[in-house]
Amino acid sequence: MSLADFKWLNEPTKWGVTDETLKVTTDNKTDFWQGTWYNFHYNTGHVYGVDVQNDFTFTACVEADFKELYDQAGLMIYLDYKHWIKAGIEYNDGQPMIGSVVTNELSDWATGIFAGDPRKFYIRLSKVKNVVCVKYSTDNITWNLLRLCPFPESECYFVGLMCCTPQRAGLDVKFSDINICDPAEDILHSN
C-alpha cells in the first residue's frame, strides 16, 4: 500500500509526501478526546489514513521534538468520533510520555515513561477480530507491549498517521517506514 492511497481526516495547512515519507506541521487546537475529566469533545486532530478491511498490522517510525503540553504523534484506528484508538508519544507532566487513548463513547488515557529517545520511535497497531494490540520500539527490533484492548468489529477501519497539538501550532512530525500487512499469528508475543 502506498501513501498515494491515503487521505486526510482534518487536513493540516502544511504537509507533504516525498519517497513514501510524510512530513506534517500541526495546526493549533487540534486533538482527539471525548469527555473524560476535562469535558472536552475534540475531533480536530490530523490523521493521514487509509481504509483497511480484515485484520492488519500497521507500523511506522515517528520523529518529532515534543516540547509543549499535549504535543502528540503516533498511529490511530478510527471508526467514528466516538470509537477510536490513538497511540504514540504525548507530552505530559513535563516530558514526552508513551501513551494510548481508547475511546468507546468516552476517552480513557494511559501513559508511562519512555525509555529511550522520544524524538524517534516506532509504533505498531495490530488488529485481530475484536482485539487491538499496541506495541512500541526504540530500534524497530525489540517491541514492548503498550496496550491490549477490545475494539468493535467493523467491515472497514480507517487507520492512519496521527498528530495533534491542542495548545499550539507548529509541531513538525515525520512519518517513515510505514507498513500495513497481515498480522502475526500471535500479535501479543511476536516481535
- Give residue-wise pLDDT tens across range 131-172: 999 999 999 999 999 999 999 999 999 999 999 999 999 999
**What number of CA atoms fall less than 13 Å from residue 29's CA on the CB side?**
2
What is the C-alpha to C-alpha distance for residues 156 and 50, in angstroms, rounded to an integer? 10
- The boundaries of the domain holding residue 169 are 3-181
Determine the distance from the C-alpha atom of residue 60 to the mean position of all C-alpha atoms in its chain, rounded to a whole number.
9
Instruction: Name the band, by pLDDT with cuts 50, 70 and 90, for residue 174.
Output: very high
Q: How many domains does the chain have?
A: 1
> Has residue 111 been placed in a domain?
yes
The answer to whether residue 188 sits within a structural domain is: no
Is residue 190 situated within a structural domain? no
- Asked whether residue 104 is domain-assigned, the answer is yes
The residue-averaged pLDDT of 16-45 equals 96
pLDDT in tens, 39-58: 999 999 999 999 999 999 99
Is residue 175 within 8 Å of 60, Cβ to Cβ?
A: yes
Q: pTM (2 decimals)?
A: 0.96
pLDDT at 191 over 90: no
Alpha carbon distance 83, 85 (integer Å): 7
**Domain holding 107: CATH number?**
2.60.120.200
Domain assignment present for residue 189? The answer is no
For 38, the grid coordinates are 476535562
More confident residue, 68 or 190: 68
Evaluate whether 114 touches 73 at the Cβ level (below 8 Å): no
Residues whose CB is less than 8 angstroms from the CB of residue 6 and which lie 6 or more positions away in sequence, other chains included:
48, 49, 50, 160, 161
Q: Is pLDDT above 80 for 1?
A: no
